[in-house]
Amino acid sequence: MRTRLFLVVLTFFAILVVADAALAEIGQIKTLNGEVYIVRDNNRIPAKLGTILFQADIVETGSSGSVGITFIDNSRFAAGPDTRLELSRFRFNPTTQDGEFLTNLDKGTLTVISGQIAKRSNEAMKIKTPTTILGFRGTRVAVKVTE
């Protein structure tokens, strides 16, 4: 009986830890022009300056839209018109600078200045496109994905 109770309590706390990580702030919109949207939990909402971003958010720009994002590890993204960018996985420990950052760029243009996650580990920051996966090692890069 005690073992069962222990497993139930352990499972509950594991769910809380996972939920907390998924709801943790990972970045913020610093600049935007034109149409910019955030898709979160299947809801598409207009983005505003200062909008907080979370893991699994999708950032979309319209035909005249652009957005600048700063992440908590000091990585910076600038997305141009007609871009769809999914913030798939983000984990960062500000004390150790250890983390992981995976972004899916389905279409559009993206300029990246990597932050602490990429500087700490060569394999920690990646951008996945429909045809390739790009790794970052403390660099600046621009990517364009056409349909």
Q: Which of 67, 48, 70, 57 is nearest to 24 (CA)?
A: 57
Query: Tens of pLDDT along the chain (147 residues)?
Result: 656 544 444 454 444 444 344 468 999 999 999 999 999 999 999 999 999 999 999 999 999 999 999 999 999 999 999 999 999 999 999 999 899 999 999 999 999 999 999 888 878 999 999 998 888 776 777 788 887
By three-state DSSP, how is residue 4 classified?
A: helix
- pTM score of the predicted model: 0.81
Instruction: Give domain limits for the chain.
Output: 25-145
Q: What pLDDT shows up at residue 1?
A: 61
Q: Which of 99, 79, 90 is nearest to 38 (CA)?
A: 79
Q: Phi, psi (5° rounding) for residue 65?
A: -95, 155
Q: List Cβ neighbours of 22 (8 Å cut-off, separation of 6 or more).
A: 54, 55, 56
Q: What pLDDT shows up at residue 18?
A: 41
Q: What pLDDT shows up at residue 66?
A: 98
Q: What pLDDT shows up at residue 2?
A: 58
CA 5 from chain centre, in angstroms, equals 36
